[in-house]
Amino acid sequence: MVREEQVNEEDLARCLWTIGDVTRLRILEQLPTSPDCCGGKNVSQLANELELTQSTISNHLARLRTLGIIRHTRQCRDVYYWIDPERAEQISEQVRSALKLKK
């Protein structure tokens, strides 16, 4: 029988591994927390700002999307990304819980 804590620990470890990459942290720093037109970033913009190729950015965005910490929307021919504040808060809560920290 798998304990619920083990599942949470495994999920948290996966989250931390995904977020813990330097490039992914740099991407997250560039993204807004709402899907507004002014602050949203597309792959080209992120590639220019971070001085990386579009394919590298796309690969990292795919991992962050799988984690659920970012969302995206298509506008014309571009896809714009932003941080999902609810998912970010869930991950933050898991970290606080694992470290036995109070909010």
Q: Where are the domains of the chain?
A: 4-96
Among the four given CATH numbers 3.90.1010.10, 3.90.1150.10, 1.10.10.10, 2.40.50.100, the one describing domain 4-96? 1.10.10.10
* 69-97: pLDDT as tens digits: 999 998 888 899 999 999 999 999 999 88
Classify residue 95 as exposed, middle or buried by CB count within 10 Å of its CB (0-12, 13-18, 19+). middle
Q: Residue 9: what pLDDT?
A: 85
Q: Report pTM.
A: 0.84
Record the tokens describing residue 86, joined without a space: 């609810």
* 18-34: pLDDT as tens digits: 999 999 999 999 999 98
